[in-house]
Amino acid sequence: MNFDLTEEQQVLQKTVRDFCARSIVPNAARWDREERFPAEIIAPMAELGLFGMQVAERYGGAAMKFHDYVIALEEIARADGSVGLTMASHNSLGTGHINLAGNDAQKAKYLPRLATGQVLGAWGLTESGSGSDAGAARTRAVRREVSDAGGGIRVEWVLNGSKTFITQGSVAGVYVVLASTSPQKKQKGLTAFIIERGTTGFRSGKHIEKMGLRASDTTELILEEVVVSDDQRLGEIDQGFFDTLKILDRGRIGIGAWAVGIGQAAFETARQYAKQRVQFGQAIAEFQGIQHMLADMATELEAARLLVWRAAWMQDLKVTTTRESSIAKYYAARAATRACNAAVQILGGYGYTREFPVERYLRDVKLGEIGEGTNEVQKMVIARLLLKDLQ
């Protein structure tokens, strides 16, 4: 086992970290206060290749390893969880689904724009009554045949329904939406469709105000008699759920890296504060209670990072990582939340104010225990596979 980053990975990490120090960190608190999507950061991130890291070079991507992607994502999230979530959802979900299940024509049409940041991608699975239970989805896609001008028959799909908690919901240009094509099959009857902004009947709904990640765009999606051609069907009919499982295996690793990045930022802030804050004649870093908190934070974050890296390494080997992805995401989210909570405690009253960023870190990182499968769902997945192995 070799846990050292390659020379190329070290350059990537430093390049992204320097970019964050210049362009993201000085603005993150303001973006959070304004509760607006920072559109101005998209083009600079695209210039670094951060929106097509897993896309083949022939489609304008960087064709990097998955491990490279999580290294870069951790650095972006360390600077700002909201921007990190934009990067994660674009790469892992929207673009990732087309990259996984798209045919050659679909990849050639959509991936170049997504990989170069000309448009952002979004992914629509969750509904108001369908979160962890994908089979409860009420958005429907009905197949119909239409005669064309030449006397031939073409296939269309008519979609109706709504989605919620959609990251990039009002700012994306290309959406992947899951709809039920065989309701009687529940989650095994879902099919994915590519829908572009501006399609008749397709629009963003209510902007969702959140506890944290306020600079991440989150909205509902509304579909009213949305007609798409069969060319926009992504993957096979009724196979959307099975592709979704593969998407989430990768997405959960990304969320693990995202959580570690926020937790690392919280740890670094708390450590620096503890060395400077003087009480009872000495820096509070000299008190054993503070030292133990810092030691716990560092240990758990390092363990989380290694779990994320292991799962990413396995993805690069083209190995199924369902168990490892859930373990990495579950542990990283929990470790990062604990680290952010400890950082607020170490800063005391100042930690509870907006003068320091740790209160924002704590608000942001909580999504790690909820999004892309709650911690409780991750434990169900892990336990099911453990018991299956036993049998």
Pairing state between β 174-180 and 121-124: parallel
Q: Which of the following is catalytic: 75, 324, 369, 372?
A: 372
Residues 267 and 262: their CA atoms lie apart, in Å, by: 9
Rounded to 5°, the CA angle 174-202-103 comes to 40
Q: What's the CA dihedral at 99, 102, 104, 106 to 10 degrees?
A: -100
Q: Is the separation of the CB atoms in 155 and 143 below 8 Å?
A: yes
Taking alpha carbons only, the member of 92, 115, 65, 94 closest to residue 329 is 92
Which amino acid is residue 22, in one-letter code? R
Which helix H or strand E contains 234, and what residues bound it?
strand 233-234
- The reply to whether 40 belongs to the active site is no
Q: Can you tell me the distance from the alpha carbon of 216 to that of 32, in angstroms, rounded to the nearest whole number?
A: 9
The answer to whether 243 and 210 have CB atoms below 8 angstroms apart is no
Q: Report the distance separating Cα 289 and Cα 371, nearest Å.
A: 33
User: How many whole angstroms separate alpha carbon 379 and alpha carbon 391?
Assistant: 18
Are the C-beta atoms of residues 262 and 364 closer than 8 Å to each other?
yes
- Residues annotated as catalytic are 372
